[in-house]
Amino acid sequence: MSDSTIFIHSGWRCSSTYVWHRFRALAGVRAYYEPWHEQLARVTARTIGAETPDNSGLRHPGGTEPYLKEFEVVLDPAGGVTGFDASFALDRFWIEPEASDLAQQAYVEGLVDAARLRGERPVLACCRTLGRAGRLKRRFGGFHVILVRDPVQQWLSFYSLRRRPRPTYFELCHYVLLSEMAGREAVAHALLGQTFEGAGSLADRLAAVRGKLKRAPASVSFQAFLAVWLASYLKALPDADLVVDVDRMARDQAYAGEVEAALEAGCGLKPDFSDCRAPAPHGVAPPIAWRKAARAVVDMMDLHQAIVGPEAPPILFRKLAPAFAAAPPATAGALGRLGETFGGLMGGAALARLKA
């Protein structure tokens, strides 16, 4: 797979910018940053230079190098990136692998072709593709990396950025995604307290959830986030070629080396993660009874077996084990309770594997 496209899938505030930054540093690579971000519909050569990690306020690595520099070669003279539409950002986030979406397909082909015409490997790193990973793999093949972070710290990362009473952009996107999750209408209504039409532009949909939920308590924000987190990873993980626990990578240099080696074996590129460090935990305790809230979401979505059952992705159990260890099911045997409690103590124990 030495010439394949590399896709890095994650949620928001999940160290994807750091991982993208390390791929960007490699010679012969064109690493596109957030290629499904709605701002690409209006970006210009002038505005590309205006936003850098140093001035974003988001605690990102990368210094003064513009985030979107790689897109300069695919700009439309009329404005925006060629082939991109703002609706791509969240529309069809939950697309099935066999579904057709010719407009988004043509857009991705344009990015891939632009890199290959210059003799470069295309890397697409985005926090809006977990629900589309299967579709992208079916159409483009390539090597797919899934980044997973402790959900409580991930949620706290964007909750800590809110300006009361305004929720963050990240919270609003989760409200939109939950409200538009097919087959989960009852869950969305129960968690959000109302139904949203899901029609109109992305800006209109973000405004609608902001208007209704801008004063929503932390428990609503966390549970909406976790519902999307669960559904996203359960949909994406079966198509992963490599799953990376970013919490462990930040504190365990031996594991970071294993991830580097797995990437080199799987796609022929070896980014340097030796400077990966864990950020300080956000604040003190989360402003919610998060274990109880997490168990309620899992029960509401009927996902207990998907998290702790024999076919469950190990990394999801390991990330959620503290919530289940807090109140194991009454029918669980002593050995099962011990296993759940041990999993909780292990916290972010990780899975980094290549598929056979």
pTM of the entire structure? 0.88
User: What does the pLDDT read at residue 279?
Assistant: 64
User: What does the pLDDT read at residue 338?
Assistant: 33
Mean pLDDT by 10 residues, the chain (356 residues): 88 92 96 96 88 63 79 94 96 94 97 98 97 97 97 89 82 96 94 90 94 93 97 97 95 96 97 82 71 94 92 91 64 36 31 30
User: What does the pLDDT read at residue 2?
Assistant: 63
Residues 6+ apart with CB under 8 A from 274: 253, 256
Residue with tokens 């800006």: 203
